[in-house]
């Protein structure tokens, strides 16, 4: 193999036979990268979940990466293609220098990594407190990853770490400094109506917003919305918790987006998929394909990279954009590389500002050898 041909490579197979699929992706990566990379990341749809341990073993024996992680997902992506509702296997590999494999056990494991390093993590949504884990990551470390999404019940997901397979907790690789690593977190929702301060709450129940019952405030947003926005709200209503309360105004990327789970007309309470303490600023959100596209393009504008790992929400893809391939195509074309692979997640992890969060309806990506191109005159 010619030396330094490339540092990163990605491959995809849609063959329904897992044995054939793993042979195809390993062969593609060997052609592009050669053997013995420092790390490999394996993403498989639920169709191949039972075969996941065997697939990881084949990758370890034939590609011979120093370390491997992976997970099962409802959909996977590589290059410009996203595979939804059918068998798919995506493999990403890279030469990064020394990598450390980490197993996260318990609901909120301690995260430790040297300053300047980068953590790639795949977790189980039922047993890992990913929000708490992400919040504990310091600003001198970058963590990007997502939660496995193939299983709808505890124990259904598969997490891969070298030669072991787990159904709980998390798995991760700690990468060394100096990789030109950059995180990109792009939301899929836009705020509607006015922001409100939470004046009453109980767990995940919003009781009152700006002194009035939360349901009344939500009705105000519906009444003031145009027909298109009102229709979107009725098909998928969400709420955004402001990340930085010190900002004078809030835009789409300034929120942690969570689902609205229901409402109680008698009490006026609104249930959401998180907890919002009194004093938190929230704003209702609507999924918007056009706004999500503009936001992703804006965040990728001027960036170039040699490779990328993408953790996108399982509510994006064809569910949001009407056809598959949206995020994969934007990362591949926007960054100028085919070494792009990833998974659809039940929650995405990535930094906003100096803090890390568990996101919803976002595309969270880790770019390698990233640079900002100089503007043309």
Tens-place pLDDT, residues 138-172: 999 999 999 999 999 999 999 999 999 999 999 99
Continuous segment of H or E residues that includes residue 234: helix 227-235
Query: Which CATH number describes the domain made up of 190-287?
Result: 2.40.10
Distance CA 118, CA 196 (A): 35
Distance CA 173, CA 164 (A): 14
Token reading at 18: 């897992």
What burial letters (b/e) apply to 303-332, b meaning 16+ CB within 10 Å? bebbbbbbbbbbbbbebbbeebbbbbbbbb
Question: CATH 2.40.10: which residues of the chain?
Answer: 190-287
Q: Which of 21-25, 211-215, 230-234, 288-292 has the lowest mean pLDDT?
A: 230-234
What burial letters (b/e) apply to 262-276, b meaning 16+ CB within 10 Å? ebeeeebbbebebeb
Distance CA 289, CA 255 (A): 17
Look at the block and give the residue holding tokens 């009490």.
Answer: 267
Dihedral of the CA atoms 249, 255, 261, 267 (nearest 10)?
Answer: -40
- pLDDT value for 308: 98
- pLDDT value for 1: 30
- Whether 336 has a pLDDT exceeding 80, the answer reads yes
Q: What is the mean pLDDT of the chain?
A: 93
Mean pLDDT of 17-38: 98
Rg, C-alpha atoms of the chain: 21
Which pTM was predicted?
Answer: 0.92
Mean pLDDT of 270-280: 94
- Whether 187 has a pLDDT exceeding 70, the answer reads yes
Q: Collect all residues with Cβ–Cβ distance below 8 Å to 15 and sequence separation of at least 6.
A: 21, 24, 87, 89
- Whether 4 has a pLDDT exceeding 50, the answer reads no
> What are the tens digits of pLDDT across the range 297-320?
999 999 999 999 999 999 999 999
Distance CA 39, CA 95 (A): 7
> What are the tens digits of pLDDT across the range 40-58?
999 999 999 999 999 999 9
> What are the tens digits of pLDDT across the range 91-134?
999 999 999 999 999 888 989 999 999 999 999 999 999 999 99
């Amino acid at each position: 193999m010619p030396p330094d041909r490339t540092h990163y490579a990605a491959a995809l197979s849609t063959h329904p036979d897992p044995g054939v699929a793993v042979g195809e992706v390993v062969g593609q990566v060997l052609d592009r990268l050669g053997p013995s990379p420092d790390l490999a990341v394996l993403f498989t749809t639920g169709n191949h979940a039972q075969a996941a341990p065997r697939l990881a073993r084949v990758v370890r024996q034939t590609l011979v990466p120093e370390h491997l992680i992976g997970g099962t997902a409802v959909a996977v992506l590589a290059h410009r293609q996203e595979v939804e509702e059918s068998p798919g296997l995506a493999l990403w590999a890279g030469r990064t220098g020394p990598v450390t494999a980490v197993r996260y056990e318990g609901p909120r494991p301690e995260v430790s990594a040297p300053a300047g390093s980068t953590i790639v993590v795949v977790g189980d949504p039922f047993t890992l407190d990913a929000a708490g884990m992400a919040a504990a990551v310091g600003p001198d470390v970058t963590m990007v990853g997502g939660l496995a999404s193939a299983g709808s019940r505890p124990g259904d997901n598969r997490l891969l770490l070298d030669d072991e397979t787990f159904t709980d907790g998390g798995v991760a690789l700690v990468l060394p400094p100096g990789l030109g690593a950059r995180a990109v977190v792009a939301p899929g929702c836009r705020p509607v109506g006015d922001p409100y301060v939470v004046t009453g709450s109980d767990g995940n129940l919003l009781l009152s917003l700006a002194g009035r019952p939360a349901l009344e405030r939500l009705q105000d947003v519906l009444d003031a919305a145009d027909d298109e926005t009102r229709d979107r709200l009725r098909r998928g209503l969400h709420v955004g918790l402001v990340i930085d309360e010190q900002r004078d105004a809030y835009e789409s990327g300034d929120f942690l987006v969570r689902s609205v789970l229901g409402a109680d007309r008698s009490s006026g309470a609104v249930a959401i998929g998180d907890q919002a303490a009194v004093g938190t600023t929230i704003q209702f959100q609507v999924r918007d394909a056009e706004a999500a596209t503009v936001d992703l393009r804006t965040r990728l504008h001027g960036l170039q990279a040699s490779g990328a790992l993408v953790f996108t929400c399982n509510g994006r893809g064809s569910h949001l954009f009407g056809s598959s391939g949206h995020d994969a195509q934007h990362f591949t074309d926007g960054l100028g590389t085919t070494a792009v692979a990833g998974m659809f997640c039940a929650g995405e992890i990535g930094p906003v500002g100096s803090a890390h969060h568990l996101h919803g309806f976002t595309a969270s990506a880790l770019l390698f050898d990233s640079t900002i191109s100089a503007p043309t005159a």
